[in-house]
Chains A and B, each alone.
Chain A
Amino acid sequence: MMNNFLTICNNQRIDFSLIPVLGYIDFMEFNTGLIQDPKNHCVNYFGVVINEKLRLINCVANDENAEIYLTSSELPLSKNEEYQSLTARHTAFHLFEREISENFGIRYSDHPWLKPLRYPFKKDNNSIMDDDPFYHIKSEDLHEVGVGPIHAGIIEPGHFRFICKGEQILHLEIQLGYQHRAIEKLFLEKKHLLQRTILAESIAGDTTVGHTTCFVNIWESMCGYIPDYEKQFSRTLALELERIAIHTGDLSAICSDIAYQLGASVFSRLRTPIINFFQSWCGNRLARGLIRAGANNYPFKNELKESLLLILNEYEQDFKEMVQKLLHHPGSISRLEKTGVVTYEQTVQIGAVGFSARASGLARDVRVSHPDYFNKNLNLQYITKRHGDVYSRTQMRREEIRQSLTIIRKLLDETLKDTTEESSLLTPRPNSFSISLVEGWRGEICHCAITDEKGELVLYKVKDPSFHNWMALALAVRKNEISDFPICNKSFNLSYCGFDL
């Protein structure tokens, strides 16, 4: 088996032809075998049509030694054959296989739940979405509650179908796809680098820095370009600032859902100076325009450093006081504790990532396990909690904000070097494959790209952490009161558009 897979690391470009092609059964057994061990998890599994055959490519990351194992298999595009599914052997593959089936018509004999994923463009789309095959239980004691696609607040659309016994949720099914904009296809159609960068910025507005960093990492690795100190500094700093900003906003949302007005107001106003700092750095509150492949249009000057330190010091005082109050307030503890529990076993089973996984004790953090050039020197540790309830996910926000503050102070301590190099950004090399993992505030973002013999993109694959974690929400609300759904939902704060693409 030794030569049946290819080992690469984060942000590495390789020749596409080096990825070994296995028979489907070997491919299936190898990959499902790998992820029986929780230190391995599937970061991306997708299909691409090459020479009128479907090439399945599986990327499994090993979190202990920073390696990514690539394997592939080739299937004919005929719809007559049925294949065994990887999902039947490990649940973490379930969405990947639903996606492959939806896009290429592959049929699986033993996939437990093969239904459409995000309804990409086809004629009569709406009628199909209305007929979604929701799970039903026939019983006079139970009732169904349908919520969405449009929800009560200023929030993105998605449909939630609950099966309840009285007030208690027995089952929740989440149907997404309403936000589908065909992002992956547009990456191939839009030919200019700037257009693709704007696309990356628009994958999920709240993760602008995360997705754009992932995109520029891929692009630069495909071009054989190594970003200088200042570019990497800016990206690392922006990622941590985004984490602080959105986590603070989430704490505000959690407070509103338990009707704690003081917390809601204070946290929401504490987010303002952080995102306003992005505006004074690059002109946009969500850091749009800041991250560019091979360029640094808004260098981090010394005045910015001074003002950032000031903002963070003021922020930290008010934040500490408020979060202390929130996490020790009997009223909030009674709402947050033991609500929406996801167990460690469940997070492993569904392949959860990010702070949601860490709140259940599963240590997955790309910054630690697959560090990029800069994160290696920061000497980060995993932060985990054990209980996997809303309270743990709220605590995770506090711990991660603390960690990010430490990281930023460490970054600012280094004396900033002047711009030195100027190697120019070339075009992507032909016949390449590249993968990039970035720890956004929600968790692991994974992008993959493949180029043809002319260096043109033939595949651009985007995976937001929400892709794995929506299932965690569905599991978390079981046995909870339906009135606790909003607080469970906010404790994850998953992306609709990041999932729907």
Chain B
Amino acid sequence: MLKTLKILYHQGRQFIPDLSKAVLKPPFRGRPLISSEKINETELEAICPTRAILTNPVRIDLGKCSFCGECALKFPEKISFSTDYKLASNKRENLIISEGDDSPVSFDHESIRSEIRKLFRGSLKLRQVSAGGDNSAELELNAAGNVNFDMGRFGIEFVASPRHADGIVITGPISSNMSEALQICYDSIPAPKIIILCGLDAISGGIFAGSNALDRKFTEKYTADLYIPGNPPHPLTVINGILKLTGKSK
């Protein structure tokens, strides 16, 4: 008993008091900044392993970006990564960062279905499905619930049964061997329900895009309510994204 109390005492305070104001330090790679510097765009485009860089003018698609940082290493005058971790958006097109743009990733509050904010603001139970995920985004989703990040304080939790869930969080590029199970799981969740795509693999297929072992029909059939970029997304990116969706934070 005394030992247990001693251990408890030694832990001190571990939780981050305000998750929307936590500061990450470089070299953390968050939202990229693109300057108006003139460089060889073809060369820049060719560097990107996941074809996330679009040219004329230069843009970066966060849904495809693996945040490897190679573009910033080769063209430091053109591209740099800020430490802004609030990368999630409810619109796929908002994930594209354009030249000279230094505003936060925008969120289209108007287009959020009214029932999401009405029903899920205080309590949101989610079922996670890893469909070809490499256990990185899964690891960070688990971390979002630990004592440091403590997502549970907002009533956001992961549950075992899709019957108990209000939505689905998909990680991984959706392998064809998992596509049927994913559909069955989604169908089992009672409506109204939300879809969250977590990590670049889920959003675009990432480095696996184009592999014939994938079956991404699910993402074509349904529109996701939230896109969380990252390879894997930082727990702060995940939590702040979900809070924005449910209207708990601006």
> Contacts A153-B158, A154-B158, A285-B140: A325 and B4 contacting too (C-beta < 8 A)?
yes
Measured in the bound complex, the distance between the Cα atoms of B126 and A154 in whole Å is 10
- Nearest Cβ distance between residue B22 and chain A, in whole angstroms? 12
Q: Which stretch (A266-274, A343-351, A352-360, A453-461) binds chain B? A: A266-274
> Contacts A156-B130, A181-B208: A266 and B7 contacting too (C-beta < 8 A)?
yes
Interface of B is mostly: mixed
- Do residues B177 and A126 form an inter-chain contact, with CB atoms below 8 A? yes
Query: From residue 206 to 250 of chain B, which have CB atoms closer than 8 A to chain A?
Result: 206-208, 211-214, 231-232, 234
Of the four ranges (under 10, 10 to 19, 20 to 34, 35 or more), the interface on chain B belongs to: 35 or more
Residues of chain B within 8 A of A281, CB atoms compared: 27
> Contacts A154-B142, A179-B172, A262-B4: A194 and B70 contacting too (C-beta < 8 A)?
yes
- Do residues B177 and A129 form an inter-chain contact, with CB atoms below 8 A? yes
- Do residues B70 and A286 form an inter-chain contact, with CB atoms below 8 A? no
Closest B residue to A298 using CB positions: B27
- Nearest Cβ distance between residue B125 and chain A, in whole angstroms? 13
- Nearest Cβ distance between residue A388 and chain B, in whole angstroms? 25
Asked if B41 is at the interface (CB within 8 A of a chain A CB), the reply is no
- Do residues B181 and A192 form an inter-chain contact, with CB atoms below 8 A? no
Candidates A121, A154, A265, A283; contact of B176 at CB < 8 Å: A121
Total A-B contacts with CB atoms under 8 angstroms apart: 186
Candidates B7, B134, B234; contact of A322 at CB < 8 Å: B7
Candidates B26, B134, B147; contact of A268 at CB < 8 Å: B147
Candidates A149, A205, A298; contact of B135 at CB < 8 Å: A205
- Do residues A272 and B136 form an inter-chain contact, with CB atoms below 8 A? no
> Contacts A262-B4, A318-B10: A178 and B178 contacting too (C-beta < 8 A)?
yes
Asked if B36 is at the interface (CB within 8 A of a chain A CB), the reply is no
Candidates B6, B141, B211; contact of A182 at CB < 8 Å: B211
Residues of chain A within 8 A of B158, CB atoms compared: 153-154
Residues of chain B within 8 A of A327, CB atoms compared: none
Contact mask for chain A residues 136-177; partner B; CB cutoff 8 A; 1 contact, 0 none: 000000000000011011111100000000000000000001
- Nearest Cβ distance between residue A470 and chain B, in whole angstroms? 15
Binding site for A on B (CB under 8 A): 3-4, 6-8, 10-11, 14, 24-29, 47, 49-50, 66-70, 73, 81, 128-143, 146-148, 158, 160, 172-173, 175-181, 185, 201, 206-208, 211-214, 231-232, 234
Given contacts A126-B177, A268-B147, 9 further A-B contacts (CB under 8 A): A129-B177, A149-B181, A157-B131, A283-B29, A284-B29, A285-B232, A288-B231, A496-B135, A500-B175
By Cβ-Cβ distance, the 5 closest A-B pairs, closest first, are A205-B136, A283-B27, A152-B160, A182-B213, A205-B134
